[in-house]
Amino acid sequence: MSFVTGMFCLLYYLAVCRYVGRWNSTFSRFWLLCGVLCIGYGLLQERLPWQAERAALVLWTLLWTAVAAVWIRMLFFGRQKEAKDLEYLIVLGAKVDRTRITSSLKLRLDRAYTYAVRHRAVKIVVSGGQGRGEDIPEAEAMKEYLAERGIERERIFPEDRSSTTEENLRFTARLIPEIREKKAGVVTNSFHIYRAWLLGKREGYQRLFPVPAKSEPVLYLNYMVREALAVLLLPVKGWRNRH
CATH 3.40.50.620 location in the chain: 88-242
Q: Residue 81 has what pLDDT? A: 87
Which are the contacts of 30, defined by CB distance < 8 A and separation ≥ 6?
222, 225, 226
Give the pLDDT score at 243. 43
Query: What's the rounded Cα separation, in Å, for the pair 124 and 138?
Result: 14
Q: Is 71 in contact with 228 (CB distance < 8 Å)?
A: yes
The pLDDT averaged over each successive group of 10 residues in the chain (243 residues) is: 90 94 84 93 80 83 94 94 94 94 96 97 97 94 97 97 96 97 98 97 96 96 96 78 51
CA dihedral 127, 131, 134, 135 (to 10 degrees): 90
Model pTM score:
0.90
For residue 240, what pLDDT is reported?
Answer: 54
Phi, psi (5° rounding) for residue 90? -110, 110
Q: Which CATH architecture has domain 88-242?
A: 3-Layer(aba) Sandwich (3.40)
* Burial class of residue 236, CB neighbours in 10 A (0-12, 13-18, 19+): exposed
Q: Which 3 state secondary structure label does DSSP give 39? A: helix
